Amino acid sequence: MKKSKNILLGVSSSAACGKALTLASALVKKGHAVKTVLTPSAARLISPQLFSALTKNDAFSEQFSADGVFREGHIALSEWADIYLIAPATANTIGKLAAGICDNLLLTLAVSRRAPLFIAPAMESMMWKNRNVRENVSRLKKGGIKIIGPVSGRLASGSSGPGRMSEPEDIIKKLAL
């Protein structure tokens, strides 16, 4: 049996957030500890409490406490993680990662991490094919970030094509867990 890992699951705002719940549940069932960090937009789309219930760990979405103070110990999450996985990773998140922008907790943790970073893109085909997105993905790959997917399939708009987030079981295989 493989050693259990501490996995930090980053979730950006996408129709694929539901798959992130399935992914979190599957990782926990395999014996891994999972903590979740959501972008503020993702936390409006899907409840952080759902991730907390599935993982039995707190889910985080804010970089600042309620009184506007920078959250103490926020870097401890990145120090805790053996693997940092962002799934789904939107075009917005990918662009900010490529530029080193840290305007939310998910991105701050990505920049401060010591663990390997994997991202599972999820977006509409025209976004995935956009030259700027492709250049951002290339930049991330050159920086050692592993890209899982996307795959072709039915998208949130109802159209079909590349941009669909890989299935949770395929992501877990790519993580070699």
- Residue 76: pLDDT band with limits 50, 70, 90: confident
pLDDT of residue 128 exceeding 90, the answer is: yes
What is the pLDDT, as a whole number, of residue 60? 87
| Architecture of the domain defined by 12-124+141-174 | 3-Layer(aba) Sandwich (3.40)
Residue-wise pLDDT for 154-174, tens only, equals 988 889 999 999 999 999 999
Confidence of residue 116 (pLDDT cuts 50, 70, 90): very high
pLDDT in tens, 84-100: 999 999 999 999 999 99
Question: 16-65: per-residue pLDDT in tens?
Answer: 999 999 999 999 999 999 999 999 999 999 999 999 999 999 898 876 55
Q: Pick 1 or 160 by higher pLDDT.
A: 160
Per-residue pLDDT reduced to its tens digit, 136-154: 999 999 999 999 999 999 9
Is the confidence at residue 74, as pLDDT, over 70? no
What phi and psi values does residue 2 have, to the nearest 5 degrees? -75, 150
SS (H, E, C) the chain: CCCCCEEEEEECCCCCHHHHHHHHHHHHHCCCEEEEEECHHHHHHCCHHHHHHHHCCCEECCCECCCCCECCCHHHHHHHCCEEEEEEECHHHHHHHHHCCCCCHHHHHHHHCCCCEEEEECCCHHHHCCHHHHHHHHHHHHCCCEECCCEEEECCCCCEEEEECCCHHHHHHHCCC
Q: How far apart are CA 76 and CA 73, in angstroms?
A: 5
Position 69 confidence tier, pLDDT thresholds 50, 70, 90: very low
Question: What pLDDT is stored for residue 77 in this prediction?
Answer: 84
